[in-house]
Amino acid sequence: MNLNIFASRLTGTAEIPPSKSHSIRAIILASFAVGNSIIHNVLNSKDINSVINAMKLLGVKLIQKNCTDSSFTLEVIPPKNGLITNLSKSDSAEKIITVDAGNSGSMLYFLAVIFCFIPNKTFVFTGDASLSARPIQPIIEVYKQLGIRYETNNSNNKPCLPLTIFTGDYINKKQLDNSCLKLNMDGIFSQVVSGVFLATSIFGFKTHIKLAQVGEMPYLKMTCNWVEELNIKFKTKNFNDGIFELENKSSIKSFRKTIPSDWSSASFLIAASVITNSQINIKNLNYNDGQGDAEIIRILNRMGANIKLEDNLLIIKNAIKLKGITIDCAEIPDLVPLLALIACFADGKTELINAQICRFKECDRLSATCNELKKLGASITEKPSCIRIHGRKTLKPACVESYSDHRIAMMLAVAGLAIKSDEPLVVKNFECFNISFPNFISTMKKLGANFIRS
């Protein structure tokens, strides 16, 4: 599907979907809990369905209720006495289980770590073309330290999907030092570190982790918050030095939770309002729910926007004039494509620094962002770990590529709203937006966006 976008002004109040990051963590933890859990306001998307299907493979029942185009309530029913007990009683015969992670990097990096502690199984992790091109070396480094047998495919002399792991006992005693699992990790891929945190919480052992660097810190903090809300405590939690000690001696208890709204999705509406000089409101946003992309408010206000959050209502008013600034993107990589677009409408130079992790997302987002914005006439330069934009150039419509990346696709759709022309901007292969924001088109149309599918 292609999407044709015409210049538009926006007005009104919008609601956005639930957080994908919170939804994935909740489903995994509920599946390994003892007792039935209820999760309200789960994101209704392809990535979430991939996680649900993976947990069903282990014998968990997951029942969707009150479904809308963007959310549903999920009842999670593990086997009697819990999934851990059920798995520990499984026979010793090796069973092959194929886990299709689809497009979800979070699911792959989480479950490839968690599942390696499930006894006497062979797991084969697969994914779509985009996920199959993403690096899995950070997972391999964990396996090497644990002594896990694995096989991978190879592309350009780098390991890639399919990834096959051969599990043994829960934790082979020879892999432990004084009953403590000790891991040294690079840390730039926060999802693998989160996978270790989750595995420790689920399987009930002590872990000491030393990170060479702490990448994407807000996502690590989100995982820590989930773990701690389930009464599992960190003995040491030092984000500055990258040292973590975590121990859980009891089973995870079932829970009832409501997933908060997604700041990553809200950022597209915020950007659209700012660059079209429109006034809109967004409901049900909480600045303190652990999502790093909430930082977009402070960043855009530094640039000259007029954005306020009052009683969970985000109010975006007309900006007088935007100015270019330097933005450290180490903790907000998902915002990089949008910030590059917004910078095109700001006076002066904007630099998006420490953004190298963006090269390892659904596509190389630094390259994709620069390539497609250049087609629109932007003055933008790509560097190994940053993007430099000289703003206030007049953008023009063009036919652009989504790279089958939901964030690139929606960023370009937002761009089309601010291009003053009778001709549309056309985003090819736009259907990937369903991965994180399934009602993006209908939400934008309600605000006044002139979108036409073709």
Dump pLDDT digits (tens) for 80-93.
988 988 887 765 54
Name the strands in the sheet holding 256-258, side by side, starting at the edge strand that comes first in the sequence: 61-65, 71-77, 37-43, 256-258
Q: Are 1 and 453 in contact (CB under 8 A)?
A: yes
311 classed as catalytic? no
pLDDT at residue 177 greater than cutoff 60: no
Residue 324 falls inside a structural domain: yes
Determine the pLDDT at residue 174: 41
pLDDT at residue 389 greater than cutoff 90: yes
Average pLDDT rounded to a whole number, residues 16-45: 98
Task: Give the whole-angstrom CA distance, residue 187 versus residue 185.
Answer: 5
pLDDT at residue 392 greater than cutoff 80: yes
pTM: 0.95
Q: Are 116 and 99 in contact (CB under 8 A)?
A: no
Give per-residue pLDDT as tens, 322-350.
999 999 999 999 999 999 999 999 999 99
pLDDT at residue 276 greater than cutoff 50: yes
* % of the chain beyond a pLDDT of 90: 86
Please report which confidence band the pLDDT of residue 248 belongs to, taking 50, 70 and 90 as the band edges.
confident
Task: Give the whole-angstrom CA distance, residue 85 versus residue 96.
Answer: 20
Range of the domain at 418: 3-17+263-453
Residue 396 falls inside a structural domain: yes
Task: Give the whole-angstrom CA distance, residue 6 versus residue 3.
Answer: 10
- The tokens describing 204, both together, are 């009930």
pLDDT at residue 173 greater than cutoff 50: no
Average pLDDT rounded to a whole number, residues 375-401: 97
Task: Give the whole-angstrom CA distance, residue 24 versus residue 26.
Answer: 5
Task: Give the whole-angstrom CA distance, residue 312 versus residue 96.
Answer: 47
Please report which confidence band the pLDDT of residue 226 belongs to, taking 50, 70 and 90 as the band edges.
very high
pLDDT at residue 439 greater than cutoff 80: yes
3-state secondary structure string across the chain: CCEEEECCCCEEEECCCECHHHHHHHHHHHHCCECCEEEEEEECCHHHHHHHHHHHHCCCEEEEECCCCCEEEEEEECCCCCHHHHHHCCCCCCEEEEEECCCCHHHHHHHHHHHHHCCCEEEEEECCHHHHCCCCHHHHHHHHHHCCEEEEEEECCEEEEEEEEECCCCCCHHHCECCEEEEEECCCCHHHHHHHHHHHHHHCCEEEEEECCCCCHHHHHHHHHHHHHCCCCEEEEECCCCEEEEECCCCCECCEEECCECHHHHHHHHHHHHHCCCEEEECCCCCCCCCHHHHHHHHHHHHCCEEEEECCEEEEECCCCCECCEEECCCCHHHHHHHHHHHCCCECEEEEECCHHHHHCCCCHHHHHHHHHHHCCCEEEECCCCEEEECCCCCCCCEEECCCCHHHHHHHHHHHHCCCCCCCEEEECHHHHHHCCCCHHHHHHHCCCEEEEC
Residue 330 falls inside a structural domain: yes
Task: Give the whole-angstrom CA distance, residue 36 versus residue 12.
Answer: 39
Name residue 126's beta-bridge partners: 100
**Domain harbouring 444, CATH code:** 3.65.10.10
Task: Give the whole-angstrom CA distance, residue 87 versus residue 83.
Answer: 6
Q: Point out the least confidently predicted range of 90-99, 177-186, 287-296, 354-363.
A: 90-99
User: Across the chain, what does the average pLDDT equal?
Assistant: 94
Determine the pLDDT at residue 169: 62
- The tokens describing 260, both together, are 């908060």
Q: Are 152 and 107 in contact (CB under 8 A)?
A: no
Give per-residue pLDDT as tens, 123-160.
999 999 999 999 999 999 999 998 899 999 998 889 99
The active-site residue, picked from 47, 334, 347, 422, is 334
358 vs 232, more confident: 358
Average pLDDT rounded to a whole number, residues 218-239: 94
Residue 149 falls inside a structural domain: no
Average pLDDT rounded to a whole number, residues 238-245: 94
Residue 167 falls inside a structural domain: no
Residue 139 falls inside a structural domain: no
Please report which confidence band the pLDDT of residue 95 belongs to, taking 50, 70 and 90 as the band edges.
confident
Residue 238 falls inside a structural domain: no
Which residue bears the tokens 């043994």?
A: 168
Average pLDDT rounded to a whole number, residues 277-302: 96
- The residue type found at 430 is F
pLDDT at residue 5 greater than cutoff 70: yes
169 vs 7, more confident: 7
Q: Please give the backbone phi and psi of residue 408, each rounded to the nearest 5 degrees, phi first.
A: -65, -45
Residue 222 falls inside a structural domain: no
Distance of CA 141 to the CA centre of its chain: 22
The total number of structural domains in the chain stands at 1
Q: Are 273 and 279 in contact (CB under 8 A)?
A: yes
